[in-house]
Amino acid sequence: MIIVDGYSLTLADVVKVARGYETVGLSEAGRKQIIDSRKIVDKILEEESPVYGISTGFGDFSQIFISKEKREKLQRNLILSHATGVGQYLPEDVVRSAMVLRANSLAKGYSGIKLSSVEMLLAMLNKRVCPAVPAKGSVGASGDLAPLSHMVLVMLGEGQAFVNGKLVSGAEALAQNGLKPVALGGKEGLALINGTQIMTAVGCMVWQDAVDLMKTADVAAALCIEALKGTRTAFDPRISQVRPHIGQLATTENMLRLTADSAIIESHVNCSKVQDAYSLRCVPQVHGASKDALRRLEETLTVEINAATDNPLIMPDTGEAISGGNFHGQPIALVMDYLKLALAEIGNISERRTNRLLDSHLSELPPFLTAYPGEDSGLMITQYTAASLVSENKVLVHPASADSIPTSANQEDHVSMGTIAARQAGEILDNVRYILAIECLAAAQGIDFLSPLNPGKGTGAAHKAIRQVVPHLDEDRMPAPDIKSIYDLIADRTLVIKVEEAIGTLKIS
């Protein structure tokens, strides 16, 4: 069980809950923090002074005072009116991630929510009630208001949820699991939706997948270097030691370990070629820079998953309710845009390596890696697909955080678009998986043509894993199923696992 206290949640914990269905509980400290914070809100509710979101309306309605008898209705209406999401539903792992992140934030004791409401959120999570949350509709400031409202609707017995893969009403989802809808007290609706948990949840899932993708990129590059009879000279550690970026150093070590004991590379060690093209020679510099961007994302997410992002914040030491802007998603927006570029560059350089494999003028391999050029097209059109995906990524990589549009009658006049940036990062990552799958397909075919020479220890394990799902291309067949098979090999981590079983853990930093 993962125990949340508002301070010690890790990215690994989030992944375990989101994808491994680990159960979640509250620490004793978290319970006390929630209870103490709620006492302060109860005291404020008894007073007649205006406090944003507790005894006033929201956004541009913050100047309107709400009487005591209408404050519970105010919170319910907040959730109902803010549930404006559109588009396809977010994946289950993202929603589960958002649920544990929201519970952890509330456990810090700065939001004034009732303990029973947090327990309800965790009960839904542990019973695998997954709210149906549309992906689009958040501008990433004042929190992820629309998507989080859809999450909270189910707590009220409203909206829709997935139970055992079936979409049912929120009321039915609760009833099937022996749960009763909650009635929100003062401040609670605001406490549940005023935060960055959707963009952060997407970010956490993309981060985990990007870790594996960076390793896969090194594997693909090493396979390509083998097939193209590239040199290991560019991976001399002394080169990176005089420019010691962490990602570059890690990539250099990976490339050396992947290609160690390669009979292919040894066979041309004394050839006349002085140096390889940039897409081969500069793998440590390019892949390494992307890994450094991923490390920056990890640093930001680690702070954010243990942050209080509510407004107003309830200060336990003084009893004050202080209005501020912790709900603003700019920290996440900027690093997700940074990661978008880092991922897109992995795809850019991969496609260039694939192109070299297919061009016989550059590869010294059969044209388009077919033994029957002219009669067969071989893997010619796979590069078209990779080029298409690279081009699509160039559109998606435009920084979402560079845009802002005012909302709530200009009260909320600068927004982050962080949730858009996070979703786009996921799209780019998926495209890059396919681009790397195409590179692996071509590289494996190229290595086949160099038989009986064997690749290195790591590249050999990768080649074997690929050949277990995709046979050598003897004559033309549909490449699409082959690409998808290798994509699956990448997505389910099998390729990286097989390589790491042979040479140990590949480095990211």
Residues tagged active-site: 52
CA quadruple 47, 104, 330, 137: dihedral sign:
negative
Collapse the DSSP code of 87 into the 3-class scheme (helix H, G, I; strand E, B; otherwise coil) and give the result.
strand
Q: Are 200 and 305 in contact (CB under 8 A)?
A: yes
Distance CA 257, CA 133 (A): 44
In Å, what is the CA distance from 291 to each residue of 218, 318, 339, 498?
11, 43, 9, 21
Distance CA 264, CA 278 (A): 20
AA letter at 447: I
What are the strands of the beta sheet with 130-131, ordered from one edge? Answer: 130-131, 160-163, 166-169
Taking alpha carbons only, the member of 293, 291, 327, 321 closest to residue 309 is 327
DSSP string, 203-251: HHHHHHHHHHHHHHHHHHHHHHHHHTT--SGGG-HHHHHTS--HHHHHH
Distance CA 309, CA 101 (A): 11
CB atoms within 10 A of CB 504: 10
**Between β-strands 24-26 and 2-4, what pairing exists: parallel, antiparallel or unpaired?**
parallel
DSSP string, 143-193: SSHHHHHHHHHHHTT-SEEEETTEEEEHHHHHHHTT-------TTHHHHHH
